Amino acid sequence: VYKRQVEEEDEETSLKDKAVSKRKGKYPALEPGIRLQLGLLAGKRDLKVTSDSGFELTHGSPFVGFGGRVDFVFMKLGADSAFGGSLLGGYAPFTTIFAENETYPSQYARLGAELRYLKAFSETFLVNVFAGGEAMSITIDQNRNYTGHRYIMARAGAGILYQVGPVLLELGGALLPVFSVNNSAGAYGEVPGLTLGFEPMAGLTFGLSDDLSVSLRYSGQIFSAQYPEPVLPIDAAKSFDVIHSGLISVGYTL
């Protein structure tokens, strides 16, 4: 009797597993759902502003704060593709140190959103195409040298997702058409036309259970801008700005 009861329980468990598998489909990453991620944000910013007459300003500061990301799939398109989206953000207070040990409170902030199209080519390999927008700023308290940059931009790019057991690898890149560049509240003048930035990105996610995960993500944003008519008493200037950021987060899937 006991053996028959165990066999019936095993059979019932097997049927449940098959039902769950059937409900999830062949590609779990394409199933509608939401993954919330929140954790520690750390990064470094390096800026160089120069002019033809020899003017030069550099700014480099590390920052540590918190960041998060929400990834969701809201519509399947057949068996092997889906539409989704992402929300991303981060904030970090830090201290800027200029020459002669002048220190100023500073902030890094980032907020973006994008729509995503996911296409599966196998059970382990998917392609992600995305487009959206973002605002990013590094601001420094009022001083005579430099008070920060603000960028408002679009985002458009693609990447790959490779799943091996509980480990998900993500690699990708984006073009960042920048519609607005504000350097020190306009002190360096207007940036004419459209500025193009670039962003390499990578991520590694470890699934701890069906609901919990730990992720490591990297993003690097690169901008170059021209200022033909600065308000400051310098001639035409240009800036080269690189922001590296990493996010270590815990994720929960709804």
State residue 79's pLDDT score: 85
| Residues facing 182 on adjacent strands | 150
Kindly list the averaged pLDDT for each block of 10 residues, start to end, along the chain of length 254. Answer: 52 48 60 94 95 87 96 90 96 86 91 96 94 96 90 97 93 96 91 93 94 96 93 89 97 92
State residue 210's pLDDT score: 86
Which pairs from 117-122 meet CB under 8 Å and 24+ separation?
117/81, 117/82, 117/83, 117/84, 118/29, 118/30, 118/73, 118/81, 118/82, 118/83, 118/84, 118/161, 119/80, 119/81, 120/26, 120/27, 120/29, 120/30, 120/80, 120/81, 121/80
State residue 18's pLDDT score: 45
State residue 225's pLDDT score: 94
